[in-house]
Amino acid sequence: MKDFTINKPQFLDFLNRLKDSFDIYGPSKTQKGFYDWTPIEQIDEFKIGDGIPKSSIKTFLFPQPETLFEFSTNSKDPAAYRLKEPDVKGKKTILFGVRPCDARSIVLNSMPYVEDVYFQKRLEQIFVFGLLCKEGCSTCFCNWVGGSPVGTDGMDVAAIDLENVYVLRAVSQKGEELLENAGLSEAKKEEKEAFNELVEKSSRQTQKDTSNILKSKDLFDLYNAPFWQELSDACINCGTCTFLCPTCYCFDIQDEVLKGKGRRIRYWDSCMFPLFTLHASGHNPRGDKLKRVRNRFMHKLKYFPDRFGPISCVGCGRCIKECPVSIDIRQVLRQMLEI
């Protein structure tokens, strides 16, 4: 395996050189004072903050909104009422500074979206430059849910942060081709060793993937568990957790028509919202808050593992940090494991 190295002050220049062929985004401090995904044109200083950016990378694969097709309702238009495919492909995009939790969300979301042409087309265009974690935040729990702070799932290039340099390692064919042709110098022996050492050190830490325990639980025991009441008492049913979550991928669809021009869009939906499962008949199988709150956790921690294997959570901790009422998915997970 060939590793490359680049001095930190040159890293932004390196990315800027790729600007003609790629749209490039990285975590940068916004006007509001937090780190979030920012186009490279607006990044003056290359500084990846501690922890994760405010929003997840799902915006790039699952945009808010995604135009599914366009149409004209003007009968004089020769193409009236014909569906026009949108340009999904667009320019190739590099996301740099992606943490292992966020990168792994791509792998998890690809499972239900395996046949989704929009998601898959966007995925082809995206290059994930990951940055492995040397230490976690107090809200990180990737190793409870099958991830690792040094995991490279979903990445094309994995980087580690040594004091003055980044050591880059290709972890996919796409990444390999990109690095080989980028004119970078090869990593020194001790840099390679530092990379391997970080990976080994983190891998030695206890991994407690809880998906198998959850899969072994009886679905209705979990469904009827007593703790949902207290949990849902506090919930205000906003969409903060679902919209910041890298693995919440539910959507709703709507036609927007204005002055004879129309488009069908899909946009993020949240199981917290009362409209989420409202039927045309007026019946809503998840008509009250408890049922909606329960669905969020049951989907991630039970239905998804039962169907696809892993837990649909990467342990990034965004929902824990931002929940206005401090609902903590780690606590819910613990409670579910105790049932």
Partner 1 sequence: MSTINQRIEQELIGVAKELLASKKVEALIGYKRGTMPMTMTPFVARSSEEAEKLCWNSFCVLNLANYLPQVLRSFEPPRRPNDPPPKGPLPKVGIVVTGCWSRNIVVQIQENQVERDRIVIIGISSRGMIDKKKVHERVGGKEVTNVEEEDNRLIVKGPGFSKEINRWDVIRDNCKSCIHPDPSIYDILIGDLKGDRQISNRFSQVEEIESKDIDERWQWFMDEISSCIRCYACRNACPLCYCPTCFVDDSRPQWVGKSKEQVDTALFHILRAYHCAGRCTDCGSCESACPMGIKMRILTKKLQKDVFELYGFEPGLNLDEPLPLSTYRLEDPQDFILTDIKMGDKK
- In the complex, the residues that contact partner 1 under the rule CB under 8 A are 30-34, 36, 49-51, 54-55, 64-65, 137-139, 230, 233-234, 236-240, 242-244, 252, 254, 256, 265, 267-268, 270, 273-275, 289, 320-328, 330-331
Whole-number Å distance between alpha carbons of 313 and 210: 11
Distance of closest approach, residue 102 Cβ to partner 1, in angstroms: 16
Q: Which residue has the tokens 């008949």?
A: 281
Nearer to partner 1, 55 or 211 (CB): 55
- Bridge partner list, 256: 263
Distance of closest approach, residue 114 Cβ to partner 1, in angstroms: 24
Nearer to partner 1, 213 or 253 (CB): 253
Q: Which helix (H) or strand (E) holds 158?
A: strand 157-161
Nearer to partner 1, 114 or 234 (CB): 234
Nearer to partner 1, 161 or 306 (CB): 161
- Is residue 239 a contact partner of residue 272, using CB atoms and an 8 Å limit? yes
Which DSSP string corresponds to 77-125?
STTTT--B------SEEEEEEE-HHHHHHHHHHHTTTTT-HHHHHHHHH
Whole-number Å distance between alpha carbons of 332 and 227: 8
Nearer to partner 1, 161 or 322 (CB): 322
Whole-number Å distance between alpha carbons of 147 and 178: 26
Distance of closest approach, residue 64 Cβ to partner 1, in angstroms: 5
Nearer to partner 1, 115 or 135 (CB): 135
Whole-number Å distance between alpha carbons of 117 and 86: 12
Nearer to partner 1, 183 or 282 (CB): 282
The two beta strands, 126-131 and 157-161, are parallel
Distance of closest approach, residue 277 Cβ to partner 1, in angstroms: 13
Nearer to partner 1, 55 or 202 (CB): 55
Length of the chain: 339
- Which residues, 6+ apart, have CB-to-CB distance to 53 below 8 Å? 27, 34, 35, 36, 37
Distance of closest approach, residue 186 Cβ to partner 1, in angstroms: 34
Distance of closest approach, residue 252 Cβ to partner 1, in angstroms: 7
Amino acid at 289: K
Give the CA radius of gyration of the chain.
22
Distance of closest approach, residue 179 Cβ to partner 1, in angstroms: 32
- Is residue 105 a contact partner of residue 314, using CB atoms and an 8 Å limit? yes
What SS3 state is found at 302?
helix
Cα distance between the two ends of the chain? 45
Distance of closest approach, residue 233 Cβ to partner 1, in angstroms: 4
Distance of closest approach, residue 85 Cβ to partner 1, in angstroms: 19
Nearer to partner 1, 79 or 325 (CB): 325
- Bridge partner list, 98: 130
